[in-house]
Structure 1
Amino acid sequence: MSISPPSVPARLLGSVPLAGAMPLVDDGAFESRAGGARRALLFRGADLEVHHLDELFAGERAPRAVFPLPWPGWTRGRASLSPDGSFAVFSGQRAVRAVGADGATLWEYRHACWGPLLGHPHTGDEQEVCAGFEHGSCRVSDDGRFVWAHVAVADEEYDEAWAVLDARDGREVARLPLDDGAAAGSHHLSHPDGVRMGLCVGMGQDGILLYWGRLDGGKVTAWDLNDTADRILLDVHPAHEGFLTVEHYGADLRLHALDGTALAEREERGEEVPWDCAGGFVDAGTVMACTGHECDEDDEGVRHWLLDARTLEVRGSVAYPSHPGEGPARPLGDGTWLTYDEEGGALHRWSAAEG
């Protein structure tokens, strides 16, 4: 049955010319901290630019900080910024490296190569990029003390691990073997409690692995949520009540308790249009989800939907007044969300219009 909810008018709060900023809304190039600023992390040539979102929309176009990339030829992996902005951590093909704003290497944690060809040789050049698109990811904890990193491992018993590193020197504090790993890529997501960390590992057509973990002394205590059947981690509830996932191929959205229990579910929108792999919490009471961006057969094009954050009942389809949402949306948790106009090179910030 088709869903025909009312339209929800959107109000444009601001627009910023920012070329190449699509990753802010569709590729995780956006980092927020519990009680801290929302920061945009943009790769520009051989640099990582850091912008504070509120400053950006207030007219400050210059980046707050610029970090030189440790491996300019490596275009995959993820980066994360320390809470105080003093250093960035990069997930490379054969190492995790912390870099200061002056470009100095603070520390490096070496690991096995993400390249898919087993036993392939390396020239010794640290800038060498091996074949393959596989990559890991990393995230600095909200207290700035640790770096969580998904890494490749040269071990007969397992090929990947979730490592916790001391943010001061890169020393391994704890490690969780990931026995079923065959990653194409991954991403981390901090829980708002500042203690737990989420890890979502994509394995291409082989599915998704999903974990929550915390550091207890020198050990990682993890919740293996892979009986939830190929679910992509989208966002965490601002009030610590649960997390949001989408099924690998968009069949449904689900709200979960931290132990993985499904609290609410919304199947794909009418006429078998799947949910996209974009969305999250607009605020504590509202979820935004998208359709059409990843579906060539959707005659309606891209649409953004507002849903109740407890029941996932659809409240309405967002109606944009002038700058249409032609791509994915990035909810910010404060009642606003971002879209990006690729043709015009502009980042837009929205809220639902009152009344």
Structure 2
Amino acid sequence: MTITPRLVAKYRIPGVWHALYGEGRFDRSGPHPRLMLKDPDSMRVYELGEDLELLGAFPRPAPHGSSVEDWVAPDLSFVVFQDETSYTAVDRDGNRLWQQPFGAWSTSRWGHVGFAMAGPYRETQILLRLPSDAPGKSLFVTLDSAGNELARNVLPCGGAERYVGLTWGPEGYLTGVYAYGGGARRTHYQASLACGHIVLGKRTTASAEQPALRGRFPLSTNPSGTGEMSVDERGQDVRWHRLPSLEVAAVLRLSDFPPAGTGDCSVHDRLWISFRGGYVDADTALVTLHNAYDEARVLRFGEDIWEEHSHWLADPATGALHGRIDYPMRDVEAVLLLGDGTWVTTERDILYRWSAPDGER
């Protein structure tokens, strides 16, 4: 069975194809999704409503220079650009507001920036990860929007070889600290922010460390926070779990799809379930099938190719397939769920926003 998706909006954005391939990211926290898109000279921020609106374009500190990561302030007044040696805050006019060097240690791989909204007037505070001289510990410095240091926080997790990040709740409140990498297990702490100081609470266990998710890749959590979707690391099945127990509520196996080369799987030869998918809304999930990588063709002809892909809608409560999404264009590959009942795909400089038709959600 095929499903014709409903086209919600169509946005023409130069370079948007890269948005789904690591050169951009989506912010889904506001009433409308936002797209932060890198280009060689600037960071552009768009709002994806009925129409496309460019909210700001922030010039890079060094035009055509490389950046490891970029972070946009919640009020869109500035962007923090991270390169190999420092963090630099730049406003819409390209003015440098402040710069924070890393010193001797390069944080190009492990840098992190967080924004807190503090005080009765909701002032922006910036938390930067910086090098720590203490083994196994991480340093975060809190600045005000002018770059003045407010506090220093040495956290008992992370270290030079681990990624350390912050999690945020509604209205910009710090809720947690996590660290992973370097061969150690993932570490989670509950956390809060008081006068610029990170206050750690109870240490918690990451869901990825639970036996129910061993050998699996978590895809997304449903809008109500009561369920989680995961895929087998070998691409053999999708499972929907109840939270917080992670009890399996439903399973969709590769064998539940039509055989490769037949019916709605006619574009596939050796199919597997990819890690691109998740909840469309509370009652609908999207699952992506890929073909196996054609190593023989690469070896014989030197062509680096992927074959076609297909997207499917399924019921998270039962694991039942609704059907394959039949797009008006062929070979739609990358897909990203926006968490509001819509998802996006790209074709050259066009971003398409889709939803499931009535009766399929």
1:220 aligns with 2:200: yes
Per-residue deviation, residues 101-149 of structure 1 (Å, max 9, x unmatched)? 1222333444367759xxxxxxxxxxxxxxxx83544343577744455
Counterpart for residue 319 of structure 2: 313
1:152-191 correspondence to structure 2 within 5 Å: 153-158=131-136, 161=138, 163=140, 165-166=142-143, 168=145, 169=147, 171-172=150-151, 174-179=153-158, 182=161, 190=168
Distance 1:68 1:171, change over 3 A: farther
Per-residue deviation, residues 244-294 of structure 1 (Å, max 9, x unmatched)? 55566656656567768466575763488544333333223333232318x
Contact 2:2 2:326 in 1 (8 A): no
1:193-212 correspondence to structure 2 within 5 Å: 195=173, 196=175, 209=186, 211=188
Taking the aligned partners of 2:229 and 2:156, their CA distance within structure 1 comes to: 25
Distance 1:189 1:278, change over 3 A: farther
Taking the aligned partners of 1:319 and 1:256, their CA distance within structure 2 comes to: 24
Superposition deviation, residue 212 in structure 1: 6.7
1:134 aligns with 2:127: no
Contact 1:34 1:194 in 2 (8 A): no
Please identify, of 279-288 and 227-236, the stretch whose mean Cα deviation from structure 2 is larger. Answer: 227-236
1:86 aligns with 2:77: yes
Taking the aligned partners of 2:205 and 2:185, their CA distance within structure 1 comes to: 12
Taking the aligned partners of 1:87 and 1:147, their CA distance within structure 2 comes to: 11
Contact 1:325 1:339 in 2 (8 A): no
Superposition deviation, residue 338 in structure 1: 0.2
Contact 1:303 1:318 in 2 (8 A): yes
Superposition deviation, residue 21 in structure 1: 1.2
Taking the aligned partners of 1:29 and 1:269, their CA distance within structure 2 comes to: 31
Aligned length: 321
Distance 1:35 1:43, change over 3 A: closer
1:1-355 correspondence to structure 2 within 5 Å: 6-27=1-22, 29-54=24-49, 58=51, 60=53, 63-72=54-63, 75-111=66-102, 134-141=109-116, 145-147=124-126, 151=129, 153-158=131-136, 161=138, 163=140, 165-166=142-143, 168=145, 169=147, 171-172=150-151, 174-179=153-158, 182=161, 190=168, 195=173, 196=175, 209=186, 211=188, 213-217=190-194, 218=197, 219-221=199-201, 223-225=204-206, 227-228=209-210, 229=214, 234-241=219-226, 244=229, 250=235, 253=238, 261=246, 264=249, 266=251, 269-270=254-255, 273-292=271-290, 295-296=292-293, 301-309=308-316, 311=317, 313-324=319-330, 326-341=332-347, 344-355=348-359
Unaligned runs of 5+ in 2: 260-269, 295-304
Taking the aligned partners of 2:215 and 2:82, their CA distance within structure 1 comes to: 24
Taking the aligned partners of 1:334 and 1:186, their CA distance within structure 2 comes to: 28
Q: Percent identity?
A: 22
Distance 1:280 1:104, change over 3 A: farther
Taking the aligned partners of 1:246 and 1:187, their CA distance within structure 2 comes to: 24
Taking the aligned partners of 1:198 and 1:247, their CA distance within structure 2 comes to: 27
Taking the aligned partners of 1:147 and 1:243, their CA distance within structure 2 comes to: 31
Contact 1:111 1:153 in 2 (8 A): yes
Provide the TM-score with structure 1 as the length reference.
Answer: 0.69
Distance 1:187 1:173, change over 3 A: closer
SS at match of 1:22: helix
Unaligned runs of 5+ in 1: 1-5, 117-132
When the two chains are superposed, the root-mean-square deviation of aligned CA atoms in Å is 4.3
What is the identity, as a one-letter code, of the residue corresponding to 1:10?
Answer: P
SS at match of 2:334: coil
SS at match of 1:40: strand
Counterpart for residue 129 of structure 1: none
Contact 1:325 1:340 in 2 (8 A): no
Please identify, of 231-240 and 251-260, the stretch whose mean Cα deviation from structure 2 is larger. Answer: 251-260
SS at match of 2:93: coil
Superposition deviation, residue 14 in structure 1: 2.8
Please identify, of 73-82 and 295-304, the stretch whose mean Cα deviation from structure 2 is larger. Answer: 295-304
